[in-house]
Structure 1
Amino acid sequence: MLIVAKLLIVLVAILHLYFLWLEMFAWTTKAKKVFRKFPEELFEPTKTLAANQGLYNGFLAAGLIWSLLIENLEWQVYVAMFFLGCVSVAGIYGALTASKKIFTVQALPALIGLGLLVIHFFL
């Protein structure tokens, strides 16, 4: 169960590195294909806002990667749970305010990883 949780942590970190790249460096190019419902004329004016969002996604990815590098297993779990919790809240908020798809792509993998950590270490 711990191995599956760590694989989900890696998956969520990779997803957030992708979000970082998409929002910081490919907002006016590749993001247009990903966010098809977003009005095309708004990509350029919102470039700075998207880059700011991407930076936050990068911090989430960094925290998840850091959690895997911590030697003390107890602290590793606590740090992973914190960052998975942050991703879950962000994903739930995004699903409620922007698109239901955000729940599936962002929140669900984090919630499953969080659940596996809780089951493995606290039950």
Structure 2
Amino acid sequence: MEILTLFVVALVGLEHIGIGLFEMFGSAEKQAGAFDMPEEFVKTKNAKTALANQGIYNAMLGILILAVILLFTGSTLKLIMILLMSYVFVVAVFGALTATKKIILLQGLPAFISLLLVLFFYD
């Protein structure tokens, strides 16, 4: 189960890299649909800048999650994975409350499942 747990946590990391790239380089039309925002707004310079900044945070979080899996082992890895998956879940809840409800399913649910796997199946 430990390998499955690491795999699922890695998927959360890859998901965040993908989200980050989408936020930084995605088309305004698709970003507007994903974030339930008017396309005219997403095309503005300020919105593009905000999405790019949000994107780099998500991409770097994804890279951090993958790096942690490669660099740490044992109880240290478990603790860091608990912290990171908790962080992702809390941020997803906030995003669902403030931006779009889809975030809780797309980001929060995978992080919550990963957190449960880490807590119960990673030694």
Q: TM-score, normalised by structure 1?
A: 0.86
> Where does structure 1 lack aligned partners over 5 or more consecutive residues?
none
Larger helix percent: 2
Q: Using the TM superposition, give the Cα deviation of residue 31 of structure 1 relative to its aligned residue in structure 2, in angstroms.
A: 2.3
Does the 8 Å contact 1:24/1:52 carry over to 2? yes
Q: Match of 1:22? A: 22
> Where does structure 2 lack aligned partners over 5 or more consecutive residues?
none
State the Cα deviation string for residues 53-96 of structure 1 (Å, max 9, x = none).
Answer: 00110121022101210243221212222211111111111112
1:2 corresponds to which letter in structure 2? Answer: E
User: Distance between the aligned counterparts of 2:7 and 2:122, measured in 1?
Assistant: 16
Does the 8 Å contact 2:85/2:112 carry over to 1? yes
- Aligned partner of residue 28 in structure 2, secondary structure: coil
Does the 8 Å contact 2:29/2:39 carry over to 1? no
Listed as ranges, the matches of 1:1-123 within 5 Å are 1-28=1-28, 30-35=30-35, 37-45=36-44, 46-121=47-122
**Alpha-carbon spacing, 1:59–1:96, altered in 2? closer, same or farther (3 Å):** same
Q: CA RMSD in A?
A: 1.8
Q: Percent identity?
A: 33
User: Distance between the aligned counterparts of 2:43 and 2:71, measured in 1?
Assistant: 40
User: Distance between the aligned counterparts of 1:71 and 1:84, measured in 2?
Assistant: 16
Q: What is the aligned length?
A: 121
**Alpha-carbon spacing, 1:114–1:89, altered in 2? closer, same or farther (3 Å):** same
Does the 8 Å contact 1:27/1:47 carry over to 2? no
- Aligned partner of residue 48 in structure 1, secondary structure: helix
Does the 8 Å contact 2:92/2:108 carry over to 1? yes
Q: Using the TM superposition, give the Cα deviation of residue 12 of structure 1 relative to its aligned residue in structure 2, in angstroms.
A: 0.7
Q: TM-score, normalised by structure 2?
A: 0.86
2:15 corresponds to which letter in structure 1? Answer: L
**Alpha-carbon spacing, 1:29–1:118, altered in 2? closer, same or farther (3 Å):** same
